[in-house]
Chains A and B, each alone.
Chain A
Amino acid sequence: MRRARGFLSGLAVAAVLAGGMDVVAPVPAAAQAKPAELKIGIVSFLSGAAAVFGVPGRNAAEWLIDKYNREGGIGGVKIRPVYIDEAGGAEKQVAEFRRLVLDEKVDLVIGYISSADCLAVAPVAEELRVLTVLFDCGTKRIFEDSKYKYVFRTKAHEALDNVAAARYVLAMKPDVKTIAGINQDYAWGRDSWDTFKRAMQKLKPDIQVAAELWPKLLAGEYSAEISRLLILKPDVIHSSFWDGDLIGLVKQGAPRGLFGQSLVVFTPGEHMLQDVGKDMPEGVVLGARGDHWFLQTPNDPIHKEFVDGYRAKYGRYPVYPSYHMYQAVAGVKAVYEKAIKDAGGKWPTPDQVIKAFEGIEYRVPPGRTMVIRADHNGIEPAIIGVTKQTGQYPFAVLDKVRVFPPDEVNPPLGMKTNDWIDSWKK
């Protein structure tokens, strides 16, 4: 704790000036005094196209930190968030990260929606030895290809979305023969389609791939892609599109009959329901990148408090990035409290905090235990369902909801996603 140490040396100087005590020995690392505040850098998109994720994430952080601070903070220490815009690309984020750590002297950083930012920041976190909690990015590469001491992710990776989608689609439509993908041409789209295709082909080896379409990220106009899909008539269409692109595809595809012709699955689709409202076609398969669905166990006290509180403050229901941020902030609180307990009530050292993080279990909405495994990655259950306009809400909700337990949609500890899928027995 840089700040804590600065505080201590300040005390030491004060003591010397006071002229009473003999202060010679350096401050031992284990004896940390309680800091005045826990300063957390929170990085999330506040501008640009991804602000539609970033702002619900930031909102959840604001709401939860307010709540924690009202309740006394973490071990009596108040949390002070410093919000940073994630827009501007990976290089800018690395610079911002250094600034947060070196100039702002934050105790830890929570952040990153973009996988590119996560991959760029993680090695720097390691170099600067500062605890960094990745809250939303989906790339599986971060902990499958590297090992980090200071970096954790309080959510599952992209395998969850696509494995759950494959299992759900096959349960719904066991005789599927052809699949097609329409995914944005960058890491997220490519990885998502790769995992979905691999899982589908493993579970049903005679499946044919009709088309793999790769529009540009933020293309917005999909006339030709929709025509292609209308001509090919695949049984199932997979897309990992998010927000603006996803809404564009729904708007342009629905009147042209895309959703009536094929079973379409949008792996991160939950977050756009409130935006599309009554125009959302029925019978579209939507994932929620975890079990982040406001109608799941709505009476659970943790979940109810979050949904009601969030809605009262921001006028909307929380969407999956809000839940992801909750998991990150609640995780930090749980970890610090465990570390304080393990340190016999003293404020923990960074190493003690990291030790407490591995294997931590804590409660999160919709009312379940969140587990961070020894590989520093979280695992979650997955919720998936089909859209239905019930008239109860001004937007479509999920029907035929299925919850996949964590071990069905996350690879076992120490196993890479692809090896795991390849090892499945039919």
Chain B
Amino acid sequence: MTLPIVILLDGVLYAAVLFLVAAGLTIVYGVMRILNVAHGSLYALGAYAGTGLVLAYLAREGPPAGLYLALLGGGVLAGAISGPIIERLLLRPIYAREEVVQLLVTFSLFLILEDVMKLLWGVDPYYVAKPYALLGTVTIAGVRYAWYQLLLIAVAVVTGVLVALAIRRTRTGRMIIAVTADREISVTLGINVGRVFTLAFTVGAILATLGGALVAPLISVAPGISVEAIVLAFAVVVIGGLGSLEGAALGALIVGLTRAAAVHLLPEVELATVYLIMVAVLLFRPRGLFGEPEVRRI
């Protein structure tokens, strides 16, 4: 029976896309305790930047490998530029404020970025399919898949592993963990908390913009994609536990596999799957699968 293989593959393919979108959101929350509502807008920004660079590259007719560099470059640059600006200008003044204020500020950032993107790119959809179609297809279990999809799985795994290693194995990573654990003690130890925050937010932003750029060849890059991205990313992160990278990976896998199974076996319920999982997880583990209970400090 080939159906289980197809479900597994479809599920993992979707999980890869979900993870790329959700990873940055969970990192930013994990380090800074800020739920960045504008995360989806960064994703959209990456999609526009990647598509824009690819279109510019296509106009110059270079070798095909350059396409992928343009896509990656657009994705990384968008986050590397916008991340520090947003953190320094908008987030820095509100770290000490209540959560509601932080939510409002990132929400207003979401609205601002939506309009900025409309000013820059208009409302007509941007269309680039080359990077997806160019790699060709492969038949697995009797079903044709695009190589690009399989590549996305690899990129998601590599990204996840690299970020996890960087946080756990490098000096900067350990400083991030220290700041996450206790901001005040970290300051007394001489850690430049401001710089760690800028770094963490920029990494989160790059993950979002990179995700957007990599997904762009599959979708229509147009107004509205940011909302969809943030809703899904939020669901995945809540299932996995806010702030946990492993949680985001597991959450993405659970959502991806369940949705794929629903499409193949019970398409009538597809719409509800993500939210049913969310409800089920929150009923039994209100902090998500990998969430840790928060210790109250006086």
Contacts and interface: CB of A to CB of B under 8 A. Distances in A.
Are A and B genuine complex partners? yes
B219 interface: yes
A404 B58 CA distance: 41
A76 interface: no
Interface string A239-258: 00001111110011011110
Contacts of A246: 220
A193 B136 CA distance: 32
Interface stretch (A44-52, A379-387, A415-423): A44-52
Interface residues of B, number: 45
Interface residues of A, number: 44
Interface string B175-204: 000000000000000000000000000000
B218 A256 contact: no
Contact of B220 (A47, A225, A275): A275
A244 B222 contact: yes
A279 interface: yes
B222 A252 contact: no
A52 B133 contact: no
A265 B264 CA distance: 21
A228 B219 contact: no
A248 B146 contact: no
B52 interface: no
Interface in A260-316: 275-277, 279, 316
Contact of A248 (B6, B219, B264): B219
B143 interface: yes
Contact of B144 (A46, A47, A55, A257): A257
A279 B271 CA distance: 29
**Which one of B114, B129, B227 has the greatest number of beta carbons of chain A within 10 Å?**
B129
A227 B271 CA distance: 17
A345 B215 CA distance: 60
A48 B226 CA distance: 9
A54 B136 CA distance: 35
Given A224-B260, A230-B144, A247-B127, A216 B271 contact: yes
B58 to A, nearest CB: 11
A213 B270 contact: yes
Interface in B116-169: 118, 123-125, 127, 129, 132-133, 136-137, 142-146, 149
B27 to A, nearest CB: 22
A231 interface: yes
A256 B144 contact: yes
B121 to A, nearest CB: 12
B173 interface: no
Interface in B23-74: none
Interface string A207-250: 00001111110111101110110110000000000011111100
Nearest to B18: A221
A391 B114 CA distance: 36
B220 A247 contact: yes
B146 A252 contact: yes
Interface in A7-55: 46-52, 54-55
Contact of B263 (A49, A225, A256): A225
Contact of B10 (A214, A224, A255): A224
A254 B123 contact: no
A46 B227 CA distance: 16
Contacts of B86: none
Given A220-B219, A224-B14, A248-B218, A47 B114 contact: yes
A277 B129 CA distance: 11
A243 B222 contact: yes
A376 B223 CA distance: 33
A185 interface: yes
Given A212-B267, A223-B10, A244 B125 contact: yes
Given A48-B224, A256-B145, A243 B125 contact: yes
A22 B141 CA distance: 92
B225 interface: yes
B132 A223 contact: no
A244 B271 contact: no
A147 to B, nearest CB: 33
Contacts of A216: 270-271
B294 interface: no
B253 interface: no
Contact of B222 (A52, A224, A227): A52
A157 to B, nearest CB: 24
B99 interface: no
Given A213-B263, A244-B224, A247-B220, A279 B129 contact: yes
Contacts of B146: 252, 255-256
Given A244-B225, A275-B124, A275-B127, A252 B270 contact: no
A54 B222 CA distance: 13
Given A243-B222, A276-B127, 11 more contacts: A48-B227, A51-B223, A218-B225, A220-B225, A221-B14, A221-B17, A244-B219, A244-B224, A247-B219, A254-B129, A275-B220
10 contacts: A211-B267, A219-B228, A223-B13, A228-B267, A231-B264, A244-B225, A246-B220, A251-B133, A255-B146, A257-B144
